[in-house]
Amino acid sequence: MKTTSEAFGRKMLRRIDSRTDSFNIGLLIPTSGSLGLLGPSAYACARLARDTWNARGGLDGREVRLTVLNSSEASTSLDVDLDAMLKAREVDALVALSNTAVCRRISTVVNARVPLIYTPHFEGEGLPEWVHAIGETPDRQLLPALDWITGRYRPRRWYLLGNDYSWPRYSHRLAMPCIRASGAEVVGERYVPLGERAFEPVIEEIIATRADAVLISLVGGESVYMCRAFGAAGLAGKVLRLSVCMEENAVLGMGQENTDGMFVAAGYFANLDSDVNGDFKERYRAHFGDRSPMLNSLSQSVYEGIVHLQRQARDPDGPPGQNILPGVRSRCRQAFDADSDPIFLGQVDGLGIRVIRTLVGEP
């Protein structure tokens, strides 16, 4: 779901012309709640993009600045704070990492007053046309992963588990025909509230259904607690797990004894073996040191969102690619394009995710 580059560029140029001192990006990232564990790495990725942009002269000589707002589903002040900043013209564009329920809510507040870049995977529908959503969609991310799992391991009984909001429900509706076409059946489907921590009843239900594969559409901390309970019940390595939301921080949180038999599909992994990612990780470590926050797909999408913003904001009459930040996911070294960029399948290996296959596109 993308606006045209021309319309987006015109809106950006109007914002640029309205200020003379700086270009201010409102950075909406989770600092608490279900996705709160992503906050440090998301902020680090945004700072790297901002500092690289400023080192190249900023936006037409204007310094690029970040203002952080908490995009957690539990944030009680986000709507009011965001509206006040927009009325005061304190932000010229927004880059957001949140669940889609939050993005829909903030898009109502923003109401196209400034460009909004939404970076993580999402349903592929349900957001206003003017929102620039650049993340992976289930048709390119989930379905090819299901095809690979069903072809390789031939599970017969799937259990579907997700948070209770639109993205997991949409993903599961899309997954069911694919599962049934493989000759398997869906033996259970359950949705838990955001913030759920007690997964023992879910594990009991998975055992009772005799599921041999679980599709996990949980976000952030919920994945950690679920997989700890999964391992404690002795299911790790016995029942397959597939997720398109699992990431490196969650793997660290759940512990290596609970990760056997887990697969993840995403547009980026920290262990992706490519020259472009190698360069990105060198710059990241040089910027933040050896104890820098763990890179992962969701947080790294924030970097790609700022790359995308810079690409669209540059002078359309300038030379192609002028002052464009190096992207990581795209073969073209530009911002991630969910319609064409590769999707990878990773297997959780100890405390890391090992890339084992390119599911869609070319690396």
Q: What is the sign of the dihedral through the CA atoms of 228, 147, 164 and 97?
A: positive
Please, what is the average pLDDT of the chain? 90
Q: How many CB atoms lie within 10 A of CB 193?
A: 11
The alpha carbons of the chain give a radius of gyration, in whole angstroms, of 20
Digit-coded pLDDT (tens) for 226-281: 999 999 999 999 999 999 999 999 999 999 999 999 999 999 999 999 999 999 99
pLDDT at 287 over 60: yes
Helices within 18-77 (DSSP H only): 39-55
- Span 82-94, average pLDDT: 96
Residue 96: its H or E element:
strand 93-96
Which tokens in the block code for residue 178?
């694919």
Q: Hey, how many other C-beta atoms are within 10 angstroms of the C-beta on 147?
A: 14
Average of pLDDT values for 296-325?
Answer: 80
Q: Other CB atoms closer than 10 Å to residue 172's CB: what's the count?
A: 21
Give the tens place of pLDDT for each residue, 129-178: 999 999 999 999 999 999 999 999 999 999 999 999 999 999 999 999 99
Q: Which helix (H) or strand (E) holds 314?
A: none
pLDDT band at 102 (very low <50, low <70, confident <90, very high): very high
CB 180 within 8 A of CB 158: no
The encoded tokens of residue 133 equal: 């959503």
Q: How far apart are CA 119 and CA 106, in angstroms?
A: 14
Backbone φ, ψ for residue 10 (5° rounding)? -65, -40
Q: How confident is the model at residue 75 (pLDDT cuts 50, 70, 90)?
A: confident
Task: Give 307's DSSP letter.
Answer: H
Tally of CA atoms within 13 A in the half-sphere of 160 that contains its CB: 22
**Structure confidence at residue 296 (pLDDT):** 95
42 contacts 302 by C-beta, under 8 angstroms: yes
Query: Is the model's pLDDT at 10 over the cut of 70?
Result: no
Going by DSSP bridges, is the β-strand pair 116-118/132-133 parallel, antiparallel, or unpaired? parallel
pLDDT of 269 reads 96
What token pair was written down for 276? 């472009």
- Which pair of tokens denotes residue 37? 């564990």
| Position 16 confidence tier, pLDDT thresholds 50, 70, 90 | low
Q: What is the DSSP letter of 59?
A: B
Sorted by where each starts, the structural domains of the chain and their CATH numbers stand as: 5-136+273-313 (3.40.50.2300), 138-266+342-360 (3.40.50.2300)
DSSP string, 330-355: STTSSS--TTTS-EEEEEEETTEEEE
